[in-house]
Amino acid sequence: MSAEAIETITTEMRARVGDNSGLGATLKFDFNGAGIVYIDGKSTPNTVSNEDKAADCTINVSLENFQAMAEGKLDGTTAFMMGKLKVAGNMAIAMKLGPLLSGK
């Protein structure tokens, strides 16, 4: 299940990021051992991969909680406050994720 879920998230994130995500930084989602989604918002065009590389901001979250956030069932700030989501590195980058996760 998790490999399939990571592939789906990666494909959807590529569509949402497009050529320019507006992040201007690198960001990594670490799904607690289930996989990685790496967004390179510095490259032109931006790229999304499953490489486990150093990033300006790393977000550790379970697949279940990430999917709930993407579906609008779990607020990112609430998840952070409850310890369901952990941010390492530049917190300002994480704050720019709203539009990418909501697809707007």
Domains and CATH numbers, the chain: 2-98 (3.30.1050.10)
Mean pLDDT per 10-residue interval, the chain, length 104 residues: 89 92 94 95 95 97 92 90 96 85 61
What is this structure's pTM? Answer: 0.91
- Which amino acid is located at 98 in the chain? G
- Look-up of token digits 């490999």: 3
Alpha carbons 64 and 61: distance in angstroms, whole number: 8
Report the SS3 class of residue 33: coil
- Residues 76, 81, 86, 87, CA torsion sign: positive
SS3 57: strand
| Residues pairing with 60 in the sheet | 30, 86
